[in-house]
Chain A
Amino acid sequence: MLDPSFVFAQSLSGLTAAMFLFLIASGLSLIFGVLRVLNFAHGTFYMLGAYAAYQLVQWLGQGGGRFWLAALGAATAIALLGGLVERLLFRHLYGKEELYQLLFTYALVLILSDGAKMIWGTQQKSVSRPPGLTGSFTVFGATVPHYNLFILLLGPAIALGVWFVLQRTRVGRFIRAAALDRETLGALGVNVSALYTWVFVIASFLGGLGGALISPMRATTPGMDTEIIVEAFVVVVIGGLGSFWGTFLGALVYGQVLSFGILFFPRFSIFAVFALMAGVLIVRPWGLLGRPLQ
C-alpha cells in the first residue's frame, strides 16, 4: 500500500505547483476573457519576471526583506512591459484575424526570450530563498520547506485579492463588463482602449510575480517560457477560458494530476495532463466553470 505520508507530500507538492500555475494562468485567462486573445507571450513575461527578480536580487542583495522588494519590483517591471507592448503594438491588431494576433504574441515570445538570452546568457540563474523562509518543518512525516508553505498561503490570498479587484472595484466592474459586451461599454462612455491596457498591465503583473516568486524554487533557464505557457493553456482550458475561479480549479486539478500521475504511471504523467485537456475540450469546450461563447 501507499505510504500516507508520501501521498500527503505528493499532494502538497501538487498544491504548490498549482499556486504558481494559478498565478500565471489567471493572467492568461484574464486577457482571453476580455480581449479574446490567447497570449503566447504570457509565459515569456513569467520567465522575464524570474530573470528580473534575479537581477534585482543581484543589485539589492538578499537580506532584510529585500527579496520581497525585488519580487515586487520585477512584477512591476513586467507589468510596465506588458502595458507598453499593448499600447505600442498589440492594439493595432484588434479586429484583425485571430491567427495574426496569435502569431504576433508568438513573435513576442521569440523576441523577448532571445532578448533575455542576450542579457542573461544560457546559464541557469538561481536565487536563494529569502532569509526567514529557508528552513523546513515536518507534517505527517512529510518535509515541507517554509517557502512552499508560504506559497501555499500566498496563492489563495492573491486569488482572493484579484477576485476582490474584479468584483468590487470600478476597474474590475468595467473589465467584467468589457468581457461581456465591449461596444455597449464604450457607448456608455467608458474608455475601453485604456481598459485594455489595464488588463494587460494586471495580467503581466501576475505573470511576472509568478516568475519572481518561483525563482528561489526552480532555476531560471531559457526555454522555461515555452514550457510553462503550454501548462498554463492546459489549466485555463480545463477550468474554462476567461473564468476566474475556473482557472483556480484548473490549476488545482493540474497540480494533483501531475503529482499523482508521476506516482502511478511515472512516464506518462505529461500525457495524462494533455489527455485531460483534450477530454475537457471534447466534452465541455468552455471548461469546467466557464460559459460558452456567444
Chain B
Amino acid sequence: MTALTRVPWIALVLIAAFFVPVVGSRFYTFLANDIAIWALFATSLNLLVGVTGLVSFGHAAYFGIGAYTTGLLMKKAGLSFLLAFPAAGVLAGAFALVFGFFCVRLTRIYFAMLTLAFAQIVWAICFKWNEVTGGEQGMPEIPYPDFDRVAALPLIGGWRTAEYFYFLTLLLVALCLWLLRRIVGSPFGRMLTTVRENAERAEFIGVNVRRYELAAFVLAGAFAGLAGGLFGIFNRGVFPDFAYWTKSSEVLIMTLLGGMGTFYGPALGAFVLILLNQQIVSYTEYWPFVLGVILVVLLFVFPGGLAGAAQATARLWARRQRA
C-alpha cells in the first residue's frame, strides 16, 4: 500500500467541511450544504446499485417522500425538527418496504421499470394532491429548525441560521454515512455483495435472496428519505419534481461519476458534479448539454467513475514505485 492510502482522508474531509463557514463566504457554505445532502442521497442509492446490484430508476421517490414528510410536519404540524427528521426516514423506509416488496420479485429491466412506475405514482400524488402537498406549486417556506437554544450556548453562538443548519447537516450526514459504512461492512452487507455477484449461488447456499434485496431496498429508501428531509429545509421548499424521474437519473449519474465500486465514490461524485455545475452555469446556460457530454465520456472512457480511475492510477503509481 502506498502512503496515499494511509492518510485519514475521511477525517480530513470532515474537518475541512466544518471550516467552510469559517473561511469561506455564505455562498460556499450553501454549496457545501448542497453537496453534503446529495452525497448522502447518492450513497444511499449506491447501497442498491453498487452493493446489491439492483438498478433503481425511481430512487427520487424516497427522497421526495422524505422531503414532504419533514416539510409537512414542520410547516403544517409545527413539529420540531428532532421528530420531523427521523420521521422522514421512517416514512420513506415504510414506502420502500411496500414498493420494494413488489419490486424485488422482478428481475433486471422489469425491476427498473417498476421502481420507475412507483416513483411516478409518488410524483403524481405530490403533483396533484393540492390540499396536502400544495400540488404543482409545491410547498414553499419550510421553516429552519429552531437553533435559539444552541445559539445561546457559549463558544458556538453567533452564527447565522443557515450556518447552524449547515453544521447540523454535516453532523447528520456524517452519522448516516458512518451507519451506511457499518452496514456495508457488516456480514449483512457482505451478503448483499454476494447477492450482487451471484444471486443463484447465494440462493443455493440457503440465502433468502429476496429478503436481503428487500432489506437493502428499505435501508436505501430510508436514507434517501433522510437526505430528502434535509434537502427540503435547505431548499426552503419542497416541490413535486423532487420525485420526478429525471431526479432519479441525476442521482444515478452522480453515483456513476464517483464510482459505484467504492463506498465514498458516490459522495465524491456529488462533490464533483455540484462544483462543476456551479462553474459551468456561470459560462453557459446549457448545463444539461455539458452533463450529457460528461456522461458519455464517463461511460466510454472511465466506466469505473472517478474513484475507479483514481484507484487504477494509484495502482499504476504503486507498481512504478516498486519497479
Contacts and interface: CB of A to CB of B under 8 A. Distances in A.
Interface string B280-323: 00000010110111011001100100000000000000000000
Contacts of A102: 55, 57, 112
A92 B296 CA distance: 11
A106 B247 CA distance: 12
Interface stretch (B5-13, B117-125, B231-239): B117-125
A204 B6 CA distance: 52
B109 interface: yes
B104 to A, nearest CB: 12
Contacts of A115: 289
Interface string A271-282: 100110110011
What are the 7 closest A-B residue pairs judged by CB atoms, nearest first?
A110-B292, A111-B292, A114-B289, A107-B295, A278-B117, A271-B124, A110-B288
Interface string B57-74: 100000000000000000
Interface stretch (A3-11, A93-101, A156-164, A173-181): A93-101
Given A103-B249, A278-B102, 15 more contacts: A99-B252, A100-B299, A102-B55, A107-B291, A110-B288, A111-B292, A226-B245, A233-B116, A234-B117, A237-B113, A267-B128, A268-B128, A270-B127, A270-B128, A282-B102
A104 B296 contact: yes
Residue among A96, A99, A234 with the highest chain B CB neighbour number at 10 A: A99
Contact of B300 (A92, A268, A282): A92
Interface string A32-52: 000010101000000000000
Interface string A250-275: 00000000000000000110110011
Contacts of A89: 296, 300
B49 interface: yes
A271 B121 contact: yes
Interface of B: 49, 55, 57, 102, 105-106, 108-110, 112-114, 116-118, 120-121, 124-125, 127-130, 245-246, 249, 252-253, 256, 286, 288-289, 291-293, 295-296, 299-300, 303
Nearest to B295: A107
Chain A contact residues, majority secondary structure? helix
A270 B293 contact: no
A21 to B, nearest CB: 16
A110 B57 contact: no
Nearest to A280: B117
Contact of B108 (A98, A110, A111): A98
